[in-house]
Structure 1
Amino acid sequence: MDIRNPSPGLYNEDLAPAKDRRWGAFSIFNVWTSDVHSLWGYYLAASLFLLCGTFLNFIIAIGIGSLIIFALMSLVGYAGEKTGVPYPVLARASFGVWGANLPALVRAIVACFWYGAQTAAASGAIVALLTRSDVFMQFQQNTHWFGHSGLEVICYVVVWALQLLIIQNGMETVRRFQDWAGPAVWVAMLVLAIGLCIKAGGFSFEHGIPQAVLLEKTKDAGVTGEPGSFWAL
């Protein structure tokens, strides 16, 4: 597609239709599986397991939610997949040329939040690993910057910079990194799951937590029903 005399306010390389499309099924699979297999994903899964009360209720709740998200995301992504045009450009059909900036900015704000949240979670995991060493533990306890330990600040900045470095090299670099990191995340999570099962003394589909404890731990979650009830789901 040749675009003649494009307006600099409406067109740039990031907004142009993709010419070389290398994101196959494996790359897309890695994007979504890595997104699910994350610290925040496991936080959500653990909280849902408590609210749902039983393993079966958890599967039903997470299954219905996943199907709804899958359907909506498929509808949103269909036009982009067919045309190679990014969302900010497609949004012009609904919001107008300048009105499309609004949903694009909303998406950008959410992305900035998750960039910080995921960076904080990843750096926190690195801190937890490093502080198993007495040297790093001492540094963690004795050095503080900006209301946080020096080790936390350093790990956060390092993780933030590494992500920025990958993103700045373009989406092809992101794809190549994702194709390597995606399977690595699966392997790491599998090893951790096996380790947790061994440490817990076995595997069970029931959480075994007394109802009184569940009510106490979930009372501030905004759920009106008891864990496992319809309203909790």
Structure 2
Amino acid sequence: MDIKNKTALVTGAGSGIGYQIAKLLKEQGNNVIIAGRNAEKITKAAEELSVTALVCDLTKPADIEALVSRVKTEFPELSILVNNAGVAHLYKLGEGADAFTKATAEFQVNYFGPVLLTEKLLPILKQQPEAAVINITSNVTFHPLVVLPTYSDTKAALHSHTVALRHTLAKDTAVKVYEVMPSLVNTEATKDMGGESGMHPGEVAQATLAGIKAGQYEIYVGDTGSQRAAYLANPENAVASFNNRF
């Protein structure tokens, strides 16, 4: 699938990976809509990119309903959905960690939000000659990072959902479902865990579109491919090696 001259919605596009994906999509001739919960941030990004901004808090079903209503009215040709928005809490499990509260917040944005948004937009996507759902997960989908324990849970859950959705929609629709799994990326969210040594988010954007064009439903970016191979060869050693810095 070659993503050009289409209408695309990218969530969490005020900065980082989402911003770079929106930028690249715009450069390739697509009509781009970006969504985020911080009105000032998402509006500023939209002005920089010359795209449309929609304010939406994915933790609020009413916001998702309002976004879907606007898309139906203003962008009925929507054919690309990029579920990128995410939050992460840097901590370790144990007594006093308040993992339940942190996990609840992460699952609302990282899992329940994209699940609901995708389902609500499917009727529009299914009307197009070709369409795609692109879920941005992580290298932690197949082994957890101990300092991002419940964030890792959310990405594992979204990975499983993505696989199920892909196989379900392939039976009788033209909607293709892709998953992008980057390793460490240098963004605002990764500053406290050595993100400055990670790849530029623009690399993730480039790899995403290249992978989709090549027909890769699971797109490994950075070190993720080698990490997954190591995990499949020896899960216990791979998890230990992955977490040896922490």
TM-score of the alignment, normalized to the shorter chain, above 0.5: no
- Pair member with larger Rg: 1
Bigger relative contact order (CA 8 A; separation at least 6): 1
More strand per residue: 2
More helix per residue: 1
